[in-house]
Structure 1
Amino acid sequence: MHEASKRLAIPLLACIAGSIGSVQAAEIVAERIATEHLELRLERIAEGLEHPWSVIMLPDGRFLVSERPGRLALVEEDGSISHLDGLPEISARTQGGLLDVTLHPRYGDGEHDWIYFTWSKPDGSQTATALGRARLDDTRLSDLETLFEQERPADPGRHYGSRLAWLPDGTLLMSIGDRGSPPRAQDGRDHAGSILRLTETGGVPEDNPFVGDDGTLDEIFTLGNRNAQGLVVTEAGEAWATEHGPLGGDELNRLIGGENYGWPEVSLGRSYVSRQPVGEDSLPGMRDPVHVFEDRFAPSGLTQVTSSMFREWQGNLLAGGLQSEQLHRLALDGDELVDSEVVLDGQIGRIRDVYQGHDGAIYLINDDPQGNLYRLRPVD
């Protein structure tokens, strides 16, 4: 499933799987990286991306990479980069900018050739996390549509969240951070600090958990999520997220519709000011994380390994880290973490996104003013 496209729970058309031509030319960064089960090669296939945020592989083997300053880069097979016109107005301040990008699950059939993306949308002196879609038309985006924007915009710069993932029923999950105001994550009348579930046109699915609840907005799927920047739907149709704590307390959560994940009343993180615990370890009615990362992992980017290229990692999650500069492999048995391993540790710097391409390789981008697109695959 994830060999078709990033964070897609529904495969692209079967013809896509064999549509790649030549493999991108690559510069070897690390010839051999030893892990518990595999020896890996790390390659750089494109460079000069400004604070890249998300990567997706097109059916023809090219890549789209969002750059936080407000550009969408098209990366050719030879590593050359061009930028697409046609984006909306974007507020690129601090953590804001052009953020996640994904394809419609049926991309490639002509009718559903939509590219979905999120961005920080200007609203006077404030900004809102917004979702849009457009079609790729040679060197530009066309048929641009704004599908959704959060209630209550906030001062620009903080906690937009903004990862996307498709569920098997064709609905779309979208994370929105607490926008730097923790109490908003417990306010059901506020999209901030939540995971949303939307239709492909940005509407409300009739079976959303809070439809008919006057105290909670219809779009909300889960509450109490501080700032989820890793989001994936597995082959089994389960939704998982990695989200930032404050100082520590970074979490891996299995997302269950209607649940409250506690922020800021429950957290193992510490206050930036007092260095004291922010909240309780656990509270009734609030769902505990499956895993809390040690130290300051600062998660961003999450994918499931389904590629036969990584047979020993089948079903595992790969989670990227910013502050830690690490890539973690996470093995799960139901809702229990049964094994973990640090796969990368500083080789590419701050890991912003992790993605399995439909060629079976793992692709990563690093958060840097001169960022790169990397490929990770087993040594032949």
Structure 2
Amino acid sequence: MLRSLLAAALLALLAGPALALDTSAGRAAVTAEITGLEEPWGIAFLPDGGILVTERDGRLLHIRPDGTRLDVSGVPEVEAEGQGGLLDVMVPRDFAETREVFLSFSIRQDDGAGTALAAGSLSADGTALEGTRVIFEMSEGSSGGRHFGSRIVEAADGHLFLTTGDRGNRPSAQDLSRHNGSVIRIARDGSVPADNPFTGTPGAEPEIWSYGHRNPQGAALDADGTLWVNEHGARGGDEVNRIAKGANYGWPIISYGTHYSGAKIGIGTAQDGMEQPVHYWDPSIAPSGMMIYSGALWPEWAGDIFVGSLKFGLISRLDRDGDRLTEAERIEDDETARVRDIVEAPDGAIWFLSVGQGAAYRMVPGG
């Protein structure tokens, strides 16, 4: 912990001047810690205070605690088309022992492209991923470059969750014989846990944990180890869902939005056997990365959910009361232009990636 705090302090010294941002908890100091990024997608912290950042065209960056920026080799080949490319990055809790890193990305397939998950070991000098291997790949992708989902979360029990989008093929999200529009749960070697809900269901893909999702691009665990996911609706109907084992979240049969043409989606907003969102946005905000805050630096925000917006250039803070969510505020300024990811650093600071600014920002109380 001390090393992480010292590294954070060093990064702050290397960064540019802090800017002030107004929040419900008072002024926050926001500093551009990493600049010159091209389509940044995911960010993760290393135990020594280093940082990994993905860029959608296939580049993995390692920013050392002293600010040195390295291009990491050994990244899997990506299909950088439309919304696809190199997407999320996740550093597991045991990185100090294993040096393992996980990457989600779009992989070329016979019928187009699909979401995949790779693992590799970061070399001692931090310049390469070694032994990189694909541990999961969608059984059948689709043509077109949209709806890859692609957030990675390490579960409390050490298993991995990966979100996949419907790939623009709406009915596939209700088809258990395909991975489209699902939350996937696998072991770290890619094997299927015996307690997955569809392991004994004929014709079903056993990696599926939940289904009926459109394009889930944000995912996070709460303090109880429960997985929460946000996903893009069509026109209106962006959702936050509390994920339950084997549950069906309804897309494209139910939705609080409409098609971009204005036409009705499915049968309406409810159907027996399909889950309701805990929160939805109308109009859509195009939600991206999601973080559930510990309260380390802002105790009043403990347990609140923070979601980046790609459409409006803001961070939405959702106040949580049990399973009820209410949008409490929208944090926005020039720095929040098209927020792609938002995470809590080991020292409690809030970091976010701005695609619009091509930068990673660090937010702390003050300013």
Q: TM-score, normalised by structure 2?
A: 0.94
**1:345: how far off?**
4.8
Whole-angstrom distance in 1 between the partners of 2:38 and 2:295: 29
Match of 1:374 in 2: 361
2:262 is aligned with 1:275: yes
Contact 1:19 1:60 in 2 (8 A): no
Whole-angstrom distance in 2 between the partners of 1:41 and 1:276: 44
Q: Structure 1 residues 188 and 18 mapped into 2: Cα distance closer, same or farther (>3 Å)?
A: same
Q: Structure 1 residues 18 and 365 mapped into 2: Cα distance closer, same or farther (>3 Å)?
A: closer
3-state DSSP of counterpart to 2:172 = helix
Whole-angstrom distance in 1 between the partners of 2:215 and 2:3: 33
3-state DSSP of counterpart to 1:128 = strand
3-state DSSP of counterpart to 1:184 = helix
- Write the letter of the residue equivalent to 1:69: D
- Write the letter of the residue equivalent to 2:245: G
**Match among 173, 182, 190 for residue 194 of structure 1:** 182
Whole-angstrom distance in 2 between the partners of 1:189 and 1:125: 16
3-state DSSP of counterpart to 2:36 = strand
* Correspondence list, 1:156-171, <5 A: 156-171=144-159
**1:87: how far off?**
1.1
Relative contact order, higher structure (CA 8 A, sep 6+): 1
Q: Structure 1 residues 376 and 21 mapped into 2: Cα distance closer, same or farther (>3 Å)?
A: closer
**1:145: how far off?**
1.5
- Cα RMSD between the aligned structures? 1.8
Q: Structure 1 residues 309 and 343 mapped into 2: Cα distance closer, same or farther (>3 Å)?
A: same
Write out per-residue CA displacement over residues 4-57 of structure 1, whole angstroms, 9 at most, x where no aligned residue. Answer: xxxxxxxxxx787667364312223632x2222232111101111110000011
Match of 1:135 in 2: 121
Contact 2:3 2:49 in 1 (8 A): no
3-state DSSP of counterpart to 1:129 = strand
**1:77: how far off?**
3.6
2:163 is aligned with 1:175: yes
Runs of 4+ in 1 over 6 A off after TM superposition: none
Whole-angstrom distance in 2 between the partners of 1:16 and 1:164: 25
Write out per-residue CA displacement over residues 136-184 of structure 1, whole angstroms, 9 at most, x where no aligned residue. Answer: 1121111111101001121141111000111111111100000011000
Whole-angstrom distance in 2 between the partners of 1:41 and 1:173: 33
Whole-angstrom distance in 2 between the partners of 1:361 and 1:147: 32
- Write the letter of the residue equivalent to 2:320: L
Moved more, 274-283 or 21-30: 21-30
Write out per-residue CA displacement over residues 228-278 of structure 1, whole angstroms, 9 at most, x where no aligned residue. Answer: 000001111111011000111100100001110000001112212x21232
Q: Structure 1 residues 146 and 17 mapped into 2: Cα distance closer, same or farther (>3 Å)?
A: same
Whole-angstrom distance in 1 between the partners of 2:332 and 2:149: 24
* Correspondence list, 1:279-318, <5 A: 279=266, 280-318=268-306
**1:81: how far off?**
2.7
Whole-angstrom distance in 1 between the partners of 2:184 and 2:26: 37
**1:192: how far off?**
0.3
Match of 1:116 in 2: 102
| Number of residue-to-residue matches in the alignment | 362
2:17 is aligned with 1:28: yes
* Correspondence list, 1:1-380, <5 A: 20=7, 22-24=9-11, 25-28=14-17, 30-31=19-20, 33-77=21-65, 79-109=67-97, 112-124=98-110, 126-137=112-123, 138=125, 139-272=127-260, 274-279=261-266, 280-338=268-326, 340-368=328-356, 371-379=358-366
Q: Structure 1 residues 223 and 64 mapped into 2: Cα distance closer, same or farther (>3 Å)?
A: same
List alignment gaps of at least 5 residues for structure 1: 1-13
Contact 1:364 1:374 in 2 (8 A): yes
Whole-angstrom distance in 1 between the partners of 2:339 and 2:2: 31
State the identity as a percent.
Answer: 37
Whole-angstrom distance in 2 between the partners of 1:191 and 1:125: 14
Moved more, 322-331 or 173-182: 322-331
List alignment gaps of at least 5 residues for structure 2: none
Q: Structure 1 residues 75 and 296 mapped into 2: Cα distance closer, same or farther (>3 Å)?
A: same
Write out per-residue CA displacement over residues 202-238 of structure 1, whole angstroms, 9 at most, x where no aligned residue. Answer: 1111001112011421110001000000000111111
Q: Structure 1 residues 62 and 113 mapped into 2: Cα distance closer, same or farther (>3 Å)?
A: same
